[in-house]
């Protein structure tokens, strides 16, 4: 600890428990509320916890080994409520996005989820986007509300369509196409 700053380390599956504002130094966190994933966070992004200003059900969980830099309260007290209100609005927008996604067909939910993962944690490799293993197949299937078997059958079809590589990871071929609308019309 130096000048009130602390580095916190989490192992896979551990929750961030202590109120405060954090910057992710390495690794990935999930941000969820009421058991519903809202977003993934990666290196350089902020995580905020405050039991009096944010919803009780807000949970950050490590997807892998995570290092977080806890900001000193004297640094974060300026415009505190305004930042928390902005963050609360972002959470609400993510909850609405999640509810709208669940109203779609399974294949559309999968495509939207892969794009979301690509945007939030994807690693660009040339023209392609590799999604690191932040979730198991069971967790991904649960998120899109389908069986693992359905997920694997769709992965096989996406491979056949040439939009993902044959890999144990999800490698989204030609990321620009994934960002466009033409891919949603695959199925």
Q: Model confidence over 36-66: pLDDT tens digits?
A: 888 899 999 989 887 766 667 889 999 999 9
17 CB neighbour count, 10 Å cutoff: 10
104-186 belongs to which CATH class? mainly alpha
Predicted confidence at residue 1, as pLDDT, reads 44
* More reliable by pLDDT, 97 or 164: 164
Domain-by-domain residue ranges, the chain? Answer: 6-101, 104-186
Pairwise CA distance, residues 150 & 156, whole Å:
10
What is the mean predicted confidence (pLDDT) over 126-144? 90
Q: 53 is written with which tokens?
A: 């200003």
Q: Model confidence over 51-110: pLDDT tens digits?
A: 766 667 889 999 999 999 998 776 556 667 777 778 888 888 888 888 898 899 999 999
* The pLDDT of residue 128 is above 70: yes
Bridge partners of residue 172, in order along the sequence: 129, 164
For the domain spanning 6-101, the CATH number is: 2.60.120.10
Predicted confidence at residue 2, as pLDDT, reads 46
- Residue listed under structure tokens 């902020």: 46
């Amino acid at each position: 600890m130096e000048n009130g700053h602390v580095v916190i380390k989490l192992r896979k599956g551990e929750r961030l428990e202590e109120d405060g504002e954090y910057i992710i130094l390495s690794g990935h966190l999930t941000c969820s509320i009421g058991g519903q994933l809202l977003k993934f966070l990666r290196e350089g992004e902020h995580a905020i916890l405050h039991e009096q200003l944010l919803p009780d059900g807000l949970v950050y969980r490590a997807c892998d080994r995570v290092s977080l830099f806890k900001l000193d309260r004297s640094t974060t007290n300026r415009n505190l409520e305004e930042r928390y209100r902005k963050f609360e609005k972002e959470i609400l927008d993510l909850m609405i996005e999640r509810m709208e996604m669940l109203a779609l067909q399974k294949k559309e939910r999968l495509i939207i989820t892969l794009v979301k993962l690509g945007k939030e944690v994807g690693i660009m490799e040339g023209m392609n986007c590799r999604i690191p293993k932040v979730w198991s197949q069971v967790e991904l299937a649960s998120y899109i509300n389908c069986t693992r078997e359905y997920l694997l059958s769709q992965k096989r079809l996406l491979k056949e369509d040439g939009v993902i590589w044959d890999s144990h990871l999800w490698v989204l071929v030609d990321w620009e196409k994934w960002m466009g609308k033409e891919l949603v019309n695959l199925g």
